Amino acid sequence: MNSSFDVTCRRCPRLAAFLDAVHLEEPTYYCRPVPPFGDPKARLLIVGLAPGMHGANRTGRPFTGDHAGILLYATLFKFGLASRPVSTAADDGLELIGARITNSVKCLPPENKPLPIEIKECNDFLRVELEVSGDARVILALGRIAHAAVLRACKLPSSGYRFAHAAEHALSDRFLMVDSYHCSRYNTQTRRLTTPMFEGVVGRARELAFAARAG
């Protein structure tokens, strides 16, 4: 694979069939693999899980139009990484500054739960994204699946890098990965992840990403 993204990809039969079914019910929805979004020269790469049914799968932009995006974009704006605090549509004019967002799995999975084989199949795209992200220095992994997907893309063993909120992992001379609980509705409503917790980890990731300029 020589491309970091393919809007026509249908390599996962279950996901392709599910997107077709959703599109029949919601013909105005995007219902295709969702591309990365943000600054092509980003210092910070944010990796999520997968498009949400009524969020990225509807709008065609990661974390846009659903609950998870509310906290994410407000926090990015607070730290000067987004031009606006609210993301509503792919054409709303919002821009990311020094940051880019992508997902471990580019297509909407049923019940927001991709199968291990689907995560593995889609990992080629993430691997190439990392390879072509020449300015990226810090990867913010939102959740265990993103954490594991980044390790796979970097060809590193999961046993050597334990996921924990706010954990920091040196993956190579180039990349540092920072872990966070996913900013999902479940995590925020149960207060497993609070706004101060999330702001703390995003602020730290930003600090590390831009401090690397001096390195």
The tens-digit pLDDT sequence of the chain (215 residues) is: 345 689 999 999 999 999 999 999 999 999 999 999 999 999 999 999 999 999 999 999 999 999 999 999 999 999 999 999 999 999 999 999 999 999 999 999 999 999 999 999 999 999 999 999 999 999 999 999 999 999 999 999 999 899 999 999 999 888 999 999 999 999 999 999 999 999 999 999 999 999 855 44
Which residues, other chains included, contact 201 with Cβ-Cβ below 8 Å and sequence gap of 6+? Answer: 140, 165, 166, 178, 179, 180
What six digits make up the tokens of 11? 């390599």
Q: Looking at residue 5, what is its pLDDT?
A: 83
Write the CA distances from 20 to 26, 88, 106, 204, integer angstroms: 10, 24, 15, 40
Q: Looking at residue 178, what is its pLDDT?
A: 98
Domains and CATH numbers, the chain: 13-214 (3.40.470.10)
Q: Looking at residue 214, what is its pLDDT?
A: 45
What whole-number distance in Å separates Cα of residue 102 and Cα of residue 36?
A: 4
72: number of Cβ within 10 Å? 24
* End-to-end CA, the chain: 32
Closest among 57, 51, 148, 137 to 99, alpha carbons compared: 137
What whole-number distance in Å separates Cα of residue 119 and Cα of residue 145?
A: 8
Write the CA distances from 141 to 47, 58, 101, integer angstroms: 5, 23, 10
Q: Looking at residue 3, what is its pLDDT?
A: 57
Angle at 38 between CA 191 and CA 109, to 5 degrees: 55
